[in-house]
A and B are shown apart, each in its own frame.
Chain A
Amino acid sequence: MNEEKVKLPDSLLEYIGQWKNKKGNVIMVLHKVQELYGFIPRAVAMEVSTLINIPLAKIYGIITFYHLFKLKKPGKYRISVCLGTACYLSGGNDIMAELENILGIGVNHTTDDGIFSIEAVRCLGCCGLAPVLVINEKVYGKLKKEDLAAILGRYRNQEAAVKA
């Protein structure tokens, strides 16, 4: 049978309430879901489907069409490597390769401990700082691949400190 229904948080229900009667609301609602959960859990998508009366298939059509929407939980620290043209020409690909090498995971994957995930993005609009990567909100510009180990190390230490 159907998996258990999830109870949606009030903030989401309130947001859906605001958007419910607006046409073409589904993408805005999905943005909110992703903001709250970091991705779009299936059970939540099902609830949303009922609440705003959009078939689940359409929701999946949308989630899988737009690159920003995620079906899997990303890492605690989401690393977005810019592969816009300026960053590409300045070696964005090498940064990506080094990052994959250090973390041992590929693009759109999360480390086993759930701490890091890697995404590729197209132009963050900081071409003057190329090559650039962003960890959660923090931007690291004019990168060299030698810098990466230290940057990731800082986050690792932070995590270790939290645990300790």
Chain B
Amino acid sequence: MVKLNLNELEKLRKNTKDECSTEIIVSMGTCGIAAGGNEVYDYFSKEIVKQGLPDVLLKKTGCLGLCYIEPNVIVKTKDQPAILYGNVNMETAIRILNEHVRNSQIVNDFVVAMPSEDIYCLCKKQPEKR
């Protein structure tokens, strides 16, 4: 990579676009890995190659803060709200890939609540002053 100067940083910021329509994000902090996040991640990464899913981007992320339901997986598809899954084991991972990623069918019973934007994008508005 070439070193940036003062003006190039903003360009880089703007030009970094989502390359894929579908994203699978695995929470891989220490607790996520401890709870089995690694295996889930490895499964997705193998299957994406094996099943030939170029439009699916697999990402790691840090701790979501929901340690009691690790491993966490977020799935973002084009026309659906981002979905957060909790307690994802291998069995669920297989279903997430086959049902949700490939067929846009949200896998019931493992969804943790609200769209995952709620979890992470909370810088939007300030809470009222106390």
The chain A residues found within 8 Å of chain B, CB to CB, are 124-129, 132, 139, 141
What is the CA–CA distance of A128 and B35 in the complex, to the nearest angstrom? 9
- Chain B residues with Cβ below 8 Å from A127 are 31, 67
Please name the residue on chain B nearest to A128 by beta carbon.
Answer: B67
Given the complex of chains A and B, what is the CA–CA distance between A124 and B69 in angstroms?
17
A141 and B67 within 8 A (CB): no
Interface centre among A124, A128, A139, A141 (most CB of B within 10 A): A128
Query: Which B residues have a C-beta under 8 Å from some C-beta of A?
Result: 30-31, 33-35, 66-70
Given A127-B67, A128-B35, A128-B70, output 14 extra A-B contacts at Cβ < 8 Å: A124-B34, A125-B30, A126-B31, A126-B35, A126-B67, A127-B31, A128-B67, A128-B69, A129-B34, A129-B70, A132-B34, A139-B33, A139-B35, A141-B35
- In the A-B complex, the 10 residue pairs with the smallest Cβ-Cβ separation, listed nearest first, are A128-B67, A139-B34, A126-B31, A126-B34, A128-B68, A125-B30, A128-B31, A128-B70, A129-B35, A141-B34
Q: Which of B30, B33, B34, B70 has the most CB of A within 10 A?
A: B34
B interface SS class: helix
Min Cβ gap B36→A in Å is 9
**Min CB distance, A85 to chain B, in Å?**
14
Q: In the complex, what distance in Å separates the CA atom of A124 from the CA atom of B29?
A: 12
Which residue from chain A places its CB closest to the CB of B66 in the assembled complex? A128
Q: Give the residues in chain B near A124, CB-CB below 8 Å.
A: 30, 34
B35 proximity list for chain A (CB < 8 A): 126, 128-129, 139, 141
Rounded to whole angstroms, the CA-CA distance of A81 and B70 in the bound complex is 20
Most buried by B among A126, A132, A139: A126
Q: In the complex, A37 Cα to B66 Cα: how many Å?
A: 37
Q: Is the CB of A129 within 8 A of B30?
A: no
A158 to chain B, nearest CB (A): 19
The smallest beta-carbon distance between B30 and chain A, in angstroms, is: 5
Please, could you name 7 A-B residue pairs with CB atoms under 8 Å apart, sorted by A?
A126-B30, A126-B31, A128-B35, A128-B69, A129-B31, A129-B35, A129-B70
B70: chain A residues within 8 A (beta carbon)? 128-129
Closest to A138 in B: B34
